[in-house]
Amino acid sequence: MTARPQRIGKYRIDATIGRGGMGLVYRGFDEVIKRSVAIKAISRSALPGDEQAGAIDRFRREAQAAGRLVHPNIVQVYEYGEDEDLAFIAMELVEGSSLHQELARRRRFTLREVGSIMSELLDALAHSHAQGVVHRDIKPANLLLTAEERIKISDFGIARIESSNLTQSGQMFGTPYYMAPEQFLGQHAGPAADLYAAGVIAYELLTSIRPYSGGTPQIMRQVLDPETQPIPPSRLNANVAESLDAVVLAALAKPIDERFQSAGEFAAAFAAGLIDSLALTGESAPAGEPVPTASSTLTGAGRRLAALHRQQTLPPALTAPGGRGGPGGVSSAHKPRLLVVDDEERILTALKSVFRTDYHVFATTDCERALAFITKYRMHAIISDQRMPGMTGVELLRRAKEAAPSSMRILLTGYADLAAIVGSINEGEIYRFVAKPWDNNDLRAIVREAVTVSIELSDLKTPAADELRSQRAILVVDASEELYRATRELMADVGPVRQATGPEAALSELAAADVGVVLFDLDAGNAQDNANLIKTLKQVYPQLLTIVVTKASDSDLMIGLINEAQIFRFINKPVPLKTLRGHLLGALERAREFERQPALVRAQAPEPSPRPRLALPVRWLDRIRDLSERLWTRRR
C-alpha cells in the first residue's frame, strides 16, 4: 500500500477519505487561507504505460469541466496541478454522505425531500448544460448530501465539454443502471442523457427500486428493448400521483425526442406532479412556494405523453402533468372499471371521491343491481361491504367470481365474520380484505394492485381446464402475500395454491401437503439462507420443482442455485404475470412427467454435497429431517 503523502502542491494532507474513479481522495488543508479541501489525486506510476495519457487527459478534463461551473449544488473546483508523478484536483470538501449511501441504508425519502433533491439536481444540471458541460455519469454515488441535506454534484470524470474533441464516437461511458439508451450504443451523449439519469434517480427515490434490474447485459437489453417499460411509480408507492408518473416515465423515454428537452422543463413538470402527489396525502405546497401551472409544463410534455400512450406505458387514467382530467386527460369510458357496493350513501360518496379520478366508478346500494352491472360490464375490481341487506358481501363476491372470474374482489367490513371471511379468502372468492375505517392510500394501493392483476388475467389465453387440472399444490413462499394473491388468481382453474410467509412455514407446508411446485420469493428473509434451504430441499425432495422470484443480481448466488438445486425457472422482479403463469404450467407438466417416469427424478437429482457450505439455522435442519422422514414414509 502506497504511503499517504505529507503534502500535495501547497496543501497539507491530513487523512485519506476515499477512493475515486481513478485514484485516492484526501482531506487536505490550505494553510494560507485556512480552509479544508478535498484533494483527488492520481499517480502516473500506478497506471499502465499505455493508459497514462488517456487517464491524465480525462482527469484534466474533469477539472476543466467542473472548474467552469459555479453553482451551489455543484462541488466547486479550486485548483488543478501536476508534478512528476501526481496529478491532482483541489476542490470543495463536502461533509456528509452520498445519496447512494443513504439509499443503501434503505432510507425512505418523503415527497418533500424527493422534491427538494430533484429541484436542486435539475437546477444544477440546467446550469451545467448552459455552460456546455454534460456530466454523463449522474448517479446517487456522485450526489453528495451536505449536513444541511443539500445536493452537490461531484465527479465530472467522464464529462463532455461541447468544445472538446476528447470524447470519441463508439465509446461507452457511464454506470449501467443510470445509462441512457444512446450511451449503451456508444452514441453521442448530450444533455438528454443526464436528464435520463435524473429520471432514474427520481424513480428510485419514489419507489426504492430502480426501473431496470439485473447485471449489465440484462439492463442493456431492457433499456434498448422498446417493448420493455418500467412499472409506473404509483403502482409501487400509493403516495405518487399519476401525473407524477407521467413526468418520470417521460424522463425515461427511450427515444431522445420523447424526453424532456431541458432540465428546466423537467423541473417544472416534476414540481407540478409533486404538488398533485402531496394533495393525495392531504398536504399542499407551502405558503410562498411557486406553484407551476399546467400551461407552463405542457409545452413539450404533450408530445411525450402522446408517445407514452402509444407505447402503452401509462397507468390507467393518466392525466397530463399538473392536471387532473380535463384537456389531455383520459375519458371515463377508457378507464378501468370499479364497482363499489355499500348500503350507506355516505360510504359510496367517500369511495367515489377517492377513485373517480383514476377509474370509471359504478356505485350502488343494491346487490342485485350490482350483479346486473357485473353481467353487463367488464369490471376490473369490485369493492363490497360485508353487511348488506338481503345478501352478505361474501355471497355477492362469490357470485361475482362465477360471473366474472377475472374481476378482482375486495371485501370491506367493520366487523369480523371470521369464518365466512377466512373461508372465502381460501376459496378465492375474495382477493383482499379491508377493515373499516380504511386508509385512503392503502385502499388506493390495494385497488391499483387488483386492477393490474385483472388486466393481466383478461389477456391470458386459458387452455381447457381438463388439460390443466392438477391435484398437486403450488406453494408460494412470500412474506408480503402479494405474490401469493396474484398466483392464486392466475392458477384458480388449475389446482390448489398454498402460502407460506417464510422458510419455516414452507417446511411445515411441505410436510403437510402434496406440493409439486414451490414459487419462492428469494427476498423473503435472508437471500443466502433461502438459497441454502432450496439447495438442501432439492437433495431431500428431488422431485420438487422450484421457481425463484428475486430482485437480486448476485451472480454467484444464482449460479449456485442453478448448479446445485436445478432451479426450474428464475423470474426477475417486477414479476410479469403472463410469464409467471407460463412457468407454473410448465413446472406442473414437468411434475406430471416425474410421476409417469420416476427415472427422470433420479436423473436430475443433485449429487449429495459433503461440504458444510449449506449452513442453515438448527431449527430448519430439524424441520428438514422431519420432512425427509415423512417423504420416505410416503414413498414406501
356 Cβ contact list (under 8 Å, min separation 6): none
Give the integer Cα–Cα distance in Å for 167 and 252.
Answer: 24
Which grid coordinates are listed for 199? 429520471
Cis peptide before 574 (omega within 30 of 0): yes
Give the integer Cα–Cα distance in Å for 109 and 437.
Answer: 27
Q: How far, in whole angstroms, is CA 189 from its chain's centroid?
A: 25
Assign residue 186 a region: left if phi > 0, alpha if psi is -120 to 50, beta otherwise? Answer: left
Give the integer Cα–Cα distance in Å for 457 and 489.
Answer: 8
Closest C-alpha to 189, from 136, 262, 139, 226 = 136
289 Cβ contact list (under 8 Å, min separation 6): none
Q: Where are the beta strands (DSSP E) in 471-581?
A: 473-477, 497-500, 515-521, 545-550, 569-572
Other Cβ atoms closer than 10 A to 306: 12
Q: How far, in whole angstroms, is CA 205 from its chain's centroid?
A: 10
158 Cβ contact list (under 8 Å, min separation 6): 58, 136, 137, 173, 174
Give the integer Cα–Cα distance in Å for 159 and 173.
Answer: 9
Are the CB atoms for 79 and 9 separated by under 8 Å? yes
Strands 11-19 and 7-8: antiparallel
Q: What torsion, rounded to 10 degrees, do the Cα atoms 560, 566, 568, 570 define?
A: 0
Which grid coordinates are listed for 633? 414414509
Work out the burial of residue 405: count CB atoms within 10 Å of its CB; fewer than 13 is exposed, 13-18 middle, 19 or more buried.
middle
Helix, strand, coil tally for the chain in percent (to 5): 45, 15, 40
Are the CB atoms for 539 and 566 separated by under 8 Å? no
Beta bridge partners of 28: 13, 37
Closest C-alpha to 583, from 538, 559, 547 = 547
Which grid coordinates are listed for 43? 499517480
User: DSSP state, 513?
Assistant: S
Q: Which residues carry out catalysis? A: 137
Beta bridge partners of 80: 89
SS3 call for 583: helix
Beta bridge partners of 468: none
Are the CB atoms for 240 and 234 separated by under 8 Å? yes
Helix (H) or strand (E) holding 307: helix 301-311
Assign residue 106 a region: left if phi > 0, alpha if psi is -120 to 50, beta otherwise? Answer: left
Indicate the length of the chain as a whole number: 636
